[in-house]
Amino acid sequence: MIKIVIVGLDGCLGSAFLGLSDLLTLARRAILAAIPPGDTVGAPDFQVVTASAGGRPVRDGAGGALDVKASFDEIALCDAVIVPSFAPEADGRAPEMSAFAAAAAWLRRHHSRGALIGGCGSGVFLLGEAGLLEGRRCTTSWWHHEDLKKRYPRADTAWGARLIDDRRVVTAAGPLSWIDVGLHVIRTLCGQEAGRIAADFTLGEAAPARGAARGAAYTPNVLSGGADAFLADAERIVRQSDAAFNAQDLAKALSTSERTLHRRLKQACGESPKTFIDRIRVETARTLLETSAKPVKKLAASAGFIDEASFRRAFRRYAGMAPSAYRIWAKARSQPKAQMFSVRKESEIIPEILTTILDSCVNGVTLADPDLDDAPIVYANKRFELITGYDPEEIIGRNCRFLQAEDRDQEGLRRLREAIRNRQPVDVILRNYRKSGTLFYNKLNVTPLFDAQGKLIYFLGVQYDVTDQIRAETEIGDLKAKLQAIA
């Protein structure tokens, strides 16, 4: 049976802790009730367990006692762990997580064993303390955004995203984020239909929408008057602005002078007002690329850019790749199988070891994802970059055929297409072209990779630069022909 654990910690929000327990318990009852009589074999079912250090009751942020069913040590294996939000400190910030080092280590251990780990609102900070946010896309309630970035700078923090699942680490924003996380866990572990049934009696709460009136969304009663509050206010204003909005408008909205705005932004984040505005808009665009199917032109306007060209320039400058490549990369990373390899070569121990090994190979290595449109490259090692002359952002998200340029009439290509269609390994020699336009001969080995259930998950490509060998063979052939002509 599936086991879902709700973590009990001193200072948590009692409403989130108890709400999760009620939501999951009622959802289980509704899901089981919807199963036709006699059709219970293989039906989704799960157990809900509340746990704390030592199995002792915990005190919520209001001082109330919350009982739990088990201790952390009693749970050897589980399928999901959910961390509820914490009550904010007097200054509005999330509590310091160093007091929960043992719980953080416990989370890290269960993630390494395959569990889905979820954080609700400020509960995301504990996932950061456990090292689970490093190299991962994540979110939290918008008033905690700057604080999360400051405490865990290696996290890839998204402002305004409601929920993000990046390789079995789920983060969500908003005071009712525990509903979103709970439903996501049910949907992930029990299937779409079970998730739909569970959602029938729940509701969610989103981050402040672009263009909404300031103050319309929930805001904590107390927010620090320091740099973090200034940045949070500035970010919110920029995200709700139109394309004509500039540094002068931002200073006016913050009731300060342009000179003071420049000084305070430099102190708070090291950026000029123009750079700050562009970065916030690119962050908004990243979230839209991950969560919507809007064409890039419309997305540029939604993110606050005056035209598509300026958007593309700014996005490449901050994200390191084109918007279309980022969309493909993000989609590939969000799939469960992406835990095999880290496209950005960060985060988990196993992917880090694998990418280190592959980067030391003397041959080019790529992974293409057959589940995405046009089977784009989602991983390329360093040697592939050196062989082709292309940078990672020019490789990821493209089909390997870009290396052939216009030279498409090749026997090797026909054999390659047939093998891929039949999901069979193949060895071919192709005429490829480096970024500089120079020709090189690529001995390509393509092997389909299947999971334990026999499902195709990747095409592994190994590239050997055999240019010198082909030229030597050609020269030998020419020499033989000349000698025969003389004879």
* pLDDT for residue 348: 39
Give me the amino acid identity at 341.
Answer: F
The pLDDT tens digits of the residues spanning 375-406 come to: 888 888 889 999 999 988 788 888 899 999 89
| Structural domain contains residue 185 | yes
Taken as a whole, the chain contains a residue count of 487
H or E segment to which residue 30 belongs: helix 14-33
Average pLDDT over residues 264-275: 86
186 and 87, same domain (yes or no): yes
The pLDDT tens digits of the residues spanning 6-37 come to: 999 999 999 999 999 999 999 888 888 887 77
Q: Rounded to an integer, what distance in angstroms lies between the CA atom of residue 52 and that of residue 298?
A: 47
CATH number, domain containing residue 310 = 1.10.10.60
400 and 369, same domain (yes or no): yes
Comparing C-alpha atoms, which of 171, 240, 173 is closest to residue 206?
173
Helix (H, G, I), strand (E, B) or coil at 48: strand
Parent domain of 239: 227-319
| Structural domain contains residue 482 | no
Q: What is the pTM of this model?
A: 0.58
Q: Rounded to an integer, what distance in angstroms lies between the CA atom of residue 368 and that of residue 384?
A: 13
* pLDDT for residue 394: 84
Mean confidence (pLDDT) of the chain: 83
| Structural domain contains residue 478 | no
Q: Rounded to an integer, what distance in angstroms lies between the CA atom of residue 308 and that of residue 299?
A: 9
| Structural domain contains residue 272 | yes
168 and 25, same domain (yes or no): yes
Give the chain's domain count.
3
347 and 309, same domain (yes or no): no
467 and 360, same domain (yes or no): yes
Residues 6+ apart with CB under 8 A from 269: 231, 276
Range with the lowest mean pLDDT among 45-59, 188-202, 347-361? 347-361
CATH number, domain containing residue 410 = 3.30.450.20
| Structural domain contains residue 204 | no
The answer, yes or no, to whether residue 458 has pLDDT greater than 70, is: yes
Q: Which residue has the higher pLDDT, 257 or 334?
A: 257
Q: Which residue has the higher pLDDT, 450 or 67?
A: 67
The answer, yes or no, to whether residue 343 has pLDDT greater than 60, is: no
The pLDDT tens digits of the residues spanning 306-342 come to: 888 888 888 888 776 778 777 776 776 655 554 444 4
Q: Rounded to an integer, what distance in angstroms lies between the CA atom of residue 296 and that of residue 119?
A: 31
145 and 260, same domain (yes or no): no
The answer, yes or no, to whether residue 211 has pLDDT greater than 50, is: no
φ, ψ for residue 209 (rounded to 5)? -80, 150
Average pLDDT over residues 363-382: 85
345 and 408, same domain (yes or no): yes
| Structural domain contains residue 116 | yes
351 and 460, same domain (yes or no): yes
Residues 6+ apart with CB under 8 A from 221: 92
299 and 397, same domain (yes or no): no
76 and 105, same domain (yes or no): yes
| Structural domain contains residue 326 | no
What sign does the CA torsion over 257, 259, 260, 262 have? positive
The pLDDT tens digits of the residues spanning 100-151 come to: 999 999 999 898 888 999 999 999 999 999 999 988 889 998 888 888 988 9
153 and 294, same domain (yes or no): no
* pLDDT for residue 221: 37
* pLDDT for residue 449: 87
Q: Are strands 163-165 and 169-172 parallel, antiparallel or unpaired?
A: antiparallel
The answer, yes or no, to whether residue 228 has pLDDT greater than 50, is: yes
Average pLDDT over residues 205-223: 40
Exposure letters 426-435 (e unless 16+ CB within 10 A, then b): bebbbbbbbe
385 and 305, same domain (yes or no): no
| Structural domain contains residue 325 | no
CATH number, domain containing residue 81 = 3.40.50.880
* pLDDT for residue 225: 43
Q: Which residue has the higher pLDDT, 339 or 429?
A: 429
Q: Rounded to an integer, what distance in angstroms lies between the CA atom of residue 342 and that of residue 422?
A: 27
44 pLDDT band, cuts 50/70/90, is confident
The pLDDT tens digits of the residues spanning 59-109 come to: 998 899 999 999 999 998 999 999 999 998 888 889 999 999 999 999 998
* pLDDT for residue 223: 38
